[in-house]
Every structure is written in C-alpha cells, then in structure tokens.
Amino acid sequence: MKPPSPVRVLLVAPSLRYLGGQAVQARRLQAHLSREPWATVDLLEVDPVLPGLLRFLQRVKFVRTIATSLAYIISLIRSVRRYDVVHAFSASYWSFLLAPVPAILVGRLFRKRVVVNYRSGEAADHLARWGWHAKPLLRLAHEIVVPSMYLVDIFARYNLRAVSVSNFLEIDRLRHRIRRPLRPVFLSNRNFEAHYNVASVLYAFGILQRGYPHASLTVAGDGPLRCELEKLAASIGLRNTAFVGAVTPDRMVELYDEADIYLNAPLIDNMPNSVIEAFAAGLPVVSSNAGGIPYIVEDGVNGVLIDGNDPAAMARAAIALLTEPERALRMASAGRHDAETRYVWPVVREEWREVYLGCGSPDALQARQA
C-alpha cells in the first residue's frame, strides 16, 4: 500500500527582525517539522520586506502598514493553494486583524484547514473589548491552539474551544549549569513594553544592591520604552547594569549561562519562552504571578511567585534565594526537570500532528461553531 502523502503546512508568522516569541517559536516549529516524514513545511512572513524601489514605502509611518499588509496578502493568495494547512500565529488587537485574520479568510476561501495559534496574554481583554468581531473570525478556524491551559480557560469563558500545545525548547542548545555558589548575578529578558514591566525589575535590583553592592543585572530586550528605562536606571543610581538590546537566540544561550537568577515582572503574560529557557539553563526563577505564569511556575517548587507589581517583594524573594542557596538549587533542579519532560519536541510532536491531521474534520469544525 502506498504511504499517505505528507501534510503540507504553511506557517504564517512574524519575521525574526523583531525577535519576538512568535517568530522564535515559528522557526523552531519549522525546523522540527521539516525533519518529520509526515509533514512538509514552509514559512510565510506577515511583515515582508518589499522589493527594490518599493522598499522606501516601508520607511513612511502609516504607509508602511498599508504597503506591508498588501504585500503579505498578495503573498498569501499566491501561496495558500499549494498547502493543506494554514497555521497562523496570532497576537491580539490590531495585530490580530493585520496578521492572522487575512490568513483565516484566505485559507477558508481556498478550502484549506486553518489553525489559529493564539499566543497573547492579552486574550481576556481582547475578547472582552473586541469580541464582537474577534469571536466570529476565530470560529472560522478549524482549530484554535494556545500554548497553555491558562488560555484554554480564557477562551472557554467566551464559548470558544481551544487546545493547548506548549511552547518547546531546543534544550540541547541551552547550557545547563548548577549554580554553586549562587551569586547575585541577575538577568531580565523581556521586550521593553509597558505590560512586561521591566521597570519593576530595575526597582527591585536597586533594593538588592543595597545589600549586595557588587550585584549585577543584564537587561536583554528592546522596544519603545528603552530610553525611559535607561533613564530610570540612571536616576535610581543602579550600578553594574547592562542594557544589551535585542538579543539573538544564540547570544541568549550565553546570557542565561552567565547569570545565576532570572527576574521576571510582567503585568500581563501567557507562557513566556524566557521562563522555560531559564528553567532549562538551571536558573532559579523569581516571577510575578501574571496571567498564565502560575500554570508553569509552581511557587516554592520550581520557582518563586510574587504578587503583581511589587519590586520590594521581588527583592525579598531574590534575597531569600541567595541566603538559602540549597533551596534555590532544588527549585532550579525542578525547573530543569520540567524543561526536559514538558517543553521539548518529542512531547509536542504528536500534539501538532493531531492538530494538523485532525483539524479539518467535520466534528472539529462543529465543535468550534457550537
């Protein structure tokens, strides 16, 4: 008997020019799917660089959005007919309208199976405020896939069925190190946007430096608040604080290895790649309990959770780790175990296979539209 043909998957996601979580996960998925006998895969960027003389249009505000969106939609229409599954990565608000929605509509127009991979921690607010149009559009997808049970629960509140397939790591590329002794060498790795609340990490580090004058903090990331955050660091007199900008995945391997404690203070979040990467590298984690983070960080087991926007609580938690290093190492060991057993390709491979091969069934679509 002739073996079945591989399922042809088109990933629709942002480019790596902005080094966001969607772009990183899309490239990882593409790389691993390309090695599977049951799938062939290509990636279409939602933010293509225009060719030749048209590129100047992308230098003009507002015109840039229109020109890039038109180029993306034209590429979609030209490409989609060659695939069985359109897998669109999705954030919230305007990004939802500009990126996954065209993929949903073009995919349905060409009678393809459509997977919306919704990844934003802002889902609850998005569906509450924009649900009048977001929900009908999401129901056009044959499958909504989210990275955590947190978002499964959020979507259920709005009568939308979602399934969870976790983010995954290329764990062999991350250097695992046991932090003995545990030093006051801290790392933050979030983009500089208000909801990631990097300012709170800076205030916490200021408190930490009172008791650990030689402590250091590496701040990886970039975004609209960069100048504001650098001014804040100067105004509160932080020492040994390095803003290293947007960092490639290869460079992040080095930064995780150099640090001893990972600090994370978002106000809104889902399933941050940076936390599970810190787990894999052996870093004790101190994090706010925003959104889906308690679904992956169990307080006192594989990390420490603090309430909301509380720099003093973050500093106290970090000091407790430094003064109880064996407890910190036990949590780091539990985090590493989670990384090895929950967030690797062999675990999620069959989940993605089921999504791709099953999402076009009439039962799946009926469940979506119920």
Could you tell me if 65 and 59 are in contact, meaning their C-beta atoms sit under 8 angstroms apart? no
Q: Do domains 7-168+344-369 and 172-342 have the same CATH topology?
A: yes
Could you tell me if 280 and 249 are in contact, meaning their C-beta atoms sit under 8 angstroms apart? no
The alpha carbon dihedral of 329, 332, 334, 339 has a sign of negative
Q: Which residues of the chain have pLDDT under 70?
A: 1-3, 19, 50-64, 359-370
Q: Domain boundaries in the chain?
A: 7-168+344-369, 172-342
Q: How far is residue 169's CA from residue 340's CA, in Å, rounded to a whole number?
A: 9
Angle between helices 198-211 and 311-323 (to 10 degrees): 50
Which pLDDT does position 57 carry in this prediction? 58
Measuring CA to CA, which residue among 43, 55, 130 is closest to residue 89?
43
Give the E-state strand segments of the chain in sequence order. 7-13, 39-45, 85-90, 113-118, 143-146, 163-164, 185-189, 216-220, 241-245, 261-264, 285-288, 304-306
- pTM for this predicted structure: 0.87
Q: C-alpha distances in angstroms, 331 versus 29, 64, 297, 317?
A: 29, 46, 10, 13
Which pLDDT does position 361 carry in this prediction? 40
Lookup result for tokens 């949903």: 104
CB atoms within 10 A of CB 148: 22
Which pLDDT does position 5 carry in this prediction? 85
**CATH class of this structure's domain 7-168+344-369:** alpha beta
Domain 172-342 sits in CATH 3.40.50.150: no
Which pLDDT does position 4 carry in this prediction? 74
28-58 pLDDT, tens digit per residue, is 999 999 999 999 999 999 988 766 655 555 5
Which pLDDT does position 65 carry in this prediction? 73
